[in-house]
Amino acid sequence: MSTGTVDTVVGIPTRNEAETIAHVAQIADEGLAALGRGGVIVLADNGSTDGTVDRFLGTALRSRTAVVRSAAAESGKGTNVFALIEKTLELGARRLVLLDGDVRSAQPDWVISLAHASDGPEPRMVLPVYRRNRYEAVSTNHLVRPLLAASFGAYVQQPIGGDFAFNRAFLERVGAWRRPQSANLYGIDVWLTANALRSGLRLVEAPLGRKVHNSPFPKVLYLPQQVLDALFHVVAEVGEVRPAQPAERQEAAVDEVAAPQDPGLVARISRAVCSYLDAYGPDVQLLFPSARDLKPAPWGLRVTVDDWPQLLADALEALAAGELERARDHLIALCVNRVMTFWTEIEGLATADVDALLHRQARETASAVAERAIVFTAPPAPTAFDPGRWRDHQTQSHPPFNA
């Protein structure tokens, strides 16, 4: 039960989201009004330079509002989310609903559905289920979904969707979890989801429809690196992986609207990845034995749906051997090649067939890992985060941005 007058906090993490923040705040306001109980909208911003905070404060809202700020240096989305968790606990609210600051398709029903799904006495995290552009969701589809199935026996459709909800009992557990620095960055979503699975907490999925937001693909060389870093830190704590076949799909994850990525951006990213492979190719093959038989492709390497589960299993074996950073960095290069190969595999496919392909990828990753009986005995990796091998290659495609 709430210890104060606040029932629900809607938290919006931002950095430079001036174009969309007023819309998101208005959606939050309408959702809180429909819930009909005391609510507060809290903006958590780290270093915006485009007037995001002023735009939020200038938006006419019925709900109470608050702003928490942090500096941009060494911070990111996770910094904002942790600030929102602290503010929710401070206010005595019984639940926190998160809405991404750049989401364009949010509706008041999102707030209502997420909030109601978080109700319950046991610690509970609510994850979204929505349809997304088949050319996006790189980290979700090709890294986190299959690795969660392989590591925790869990099939979660949008484990890093960003639009989440938590009850107070869940928020009170978060401070006890070992926190790598990548959880302060884009690793926050997977860090929360994976820790919930590791701890046996309740995960609930709430169907929300379509998600339209700013494409994350320009960040493909550093966002997934931060996600993988946080995920690997949690997986390394499980002792022994618990692979299981995912249940039958309940909701579609792929949208009918398909918007390919900008060819110029794709070409720049391909060049950066090829540069990385030129520098580290022999070591990639040493750590990932399954990469030795990959065929060349115009974008670098052809990584098919049959190849990918074995490469992910290689990554978990390397992690179990204490090679978190090498496995993380090399897997990013292989993942970009997987994504570009995936785009050729889905040409002309109906959305249901794309969903089936992604489901098969998760299922076969769980099977590949199950065959290897992986156990984690290495000492915990340092919590500091550094781009490492990717530092120079990331700037070849797009300047790093951690919000």
| Whole-number pLDDT of residue 397 | 46
Q: Which of 175, 157, 37 is CA-nearest to residue 97?
A: 37
Structural domain harbouring 25: 8-136+143-214
What the block records as the tokens of 202 is 């309740």
| Cα distances (angstroms) measured from residue 371 to each of 108, 149, 313 | 45, 14, 9
Per residue in 208-234, pLDDT (tens digit) is: 998 888 888 889 999 999 999 999 999
The two three-digit tokens of residue 235, written as one number? 């997986």
Residue 403 lies in a domain: no
The span from the CA of 87 to the CA of 85, in Å, is 5
Q: How far apart are CA 343 and CA 205, in angstroms?
A: 27
CATH number at residue 67: 3.90.550.10
Q: Average pLDDT per run of 10 along the chain, which is 403 residues long?
A: 73 96 97 94 95 97 96 88 98 97 94 97 96 94 96 92 96 97 97 97 94 86 96 95 72 87 94 96 98 96 98 98 97 98 97 95 95 92 94 63 37
What SS3 state is found at 43?
A: strand
Position 98 in a domain: yes
**pLDDT score, position 139:** 96
In tens, the pLDDT along 50-88 reads: 999 999 999 999 999 999 999 877 789 999 999 999 999
Q: What integer pLDDT is reported at residue 284 of this predicted model?
A: 98
At 160 the pLDDT is 95
Domain assignment present for residue 237? The answer is no
pLDDT of 216: 83
Question: Rounded distance, CA 138 to CA 174, Å?
Answer: 26
| Residue 187 within any structural domain of the chain | yes
Q: What is the pLDDT of residue 247?
A: 65
The domain total for the chain is 1
The predicted pLDDT at position 2 comes to 37
Residue 107 in any domain: the answer is yes
Q: 132 φ, ψ to 5°? A: -135, 155
CA angle 388, 222, 362 (to 5 degrees): 110
Residue 250 located in a structural domain: no
For residue 353, is it within any domain?
no
Residue 243: what pLDDT?
Answer: 84
Residue 366 inside a domain? The answer is no
